[in-house]
Amino acid sequence: MVKSLILTGFGINCEIEMGAAYKNAGAEVTIIHFNEIINGKYDLQDYDILNFPGGFSFGDDIASGKVMANKIKYKKMANGKTFIREINDFVANGKYIMGVCNGFQILTQLGLLPDLQGNQEPEVALLHNDSQKYEDRWVYCKVNSVNQSPFLKGIDLLPVPVRHGEGKLVFKNDDVKEKIIANNQIALQYADAEGNITEEYPLNPNGSVMSIAGLTDTTGQIFGLMPHPEAFLSFYNHPDWAKMKRNGKELERGETGQVIFDNIVKELKVRKVKS
């Protein structure tokens, strides 16, 4: 059985939806407060995938994800280690991490994404949306066909909701930008309904450079994105489902956000069989 660990607490609020996505995909789901792993009640290494859901950890004080990232980096666990050290061991053992919205912000603050140098220094940032307001709308995301992460296998264009105030991705410098492009670490980009990548608002809801909606690390094991695939697990979650159904167009499971969770659980099941 694939074991998915989902962290919550301190203002994270999308853990139930994320848990439902993994259960639908056939994984065993454990949702815990962050403090429960810090105090030693759970062991990260017992799981196959670690998840940072969306929400507003610590009320987005200082910068979205910054306070949570600092707790992960510096707070000592019951075993005397920091949680970031446990995460490093987790990834070194070939396991996976996913962060959605606030979770993506946490991963960038930790330097786990894009982690070009392998030293976990922040190389990108997620800033306030160009609109200077909280964006709650549906968008289309085009998948980078040359990104090899198993999260994205077989996906071309995905409609998904966004709900964030700080989602504008920018690069530390041009060197970081060039390396991310060269490594094919761009995972998703905002697009129109035909799959044409665009920086036009509101199709690009936040003004992200190159319309980037998600990134992977250099290994493809760590995946972060601003949109919420866990909020689109069924055709009936789509705001236009009734109109689409009347017109004879129902979206299949593989055309919803559920496909991302199906993909990674399938990959982990195959790995378990091989091992």
Q: What angle do CA 64, 67, 71 make, to 5 degrees?
A: 140
Name the active-site residue from 15, 86, 123, 230: 230
* Dist CA 271 CA 275 (whole Å): 6
Say how many C-beta atoms besides its own lie within 10 A of residue 2's C-beta: 21
What's the length of the chain? 275
* Dist CA 117 CA 201 (whole Å): 33
* Dist CA 189 CA 247 (whole Å): 28
For residues 8, 269, 146, 170, the Cα torsion angle rounded to the nearest 10 degrees is 10
Name the active-site residue from 15, 135, 164, 228: 228
Name the active-site residue from 15, 17, 86, 101: 101
Active-site residue 101, yes or no?
yes
Q: Per-residue b/e over 81-100, b at no fewer than 16 CB within 10 Å?
A: ebbbebbeebbeeebbbbbb
The number of helices, as runs of H, and strands, as runs of E, in the chain is 8, 11
Nearest to 249 by CA among 260, 258, 263, 238: 238
Kindly state the tokens that stand for 249.
Answer: 């167009």
Active-site residue 230, yes or no?
yes
Element (H, E) at 213: strand 212-216
* Dist CA 273 CA 25 (whole Å): 17
Positions marked catalytic: 101, 228, 230
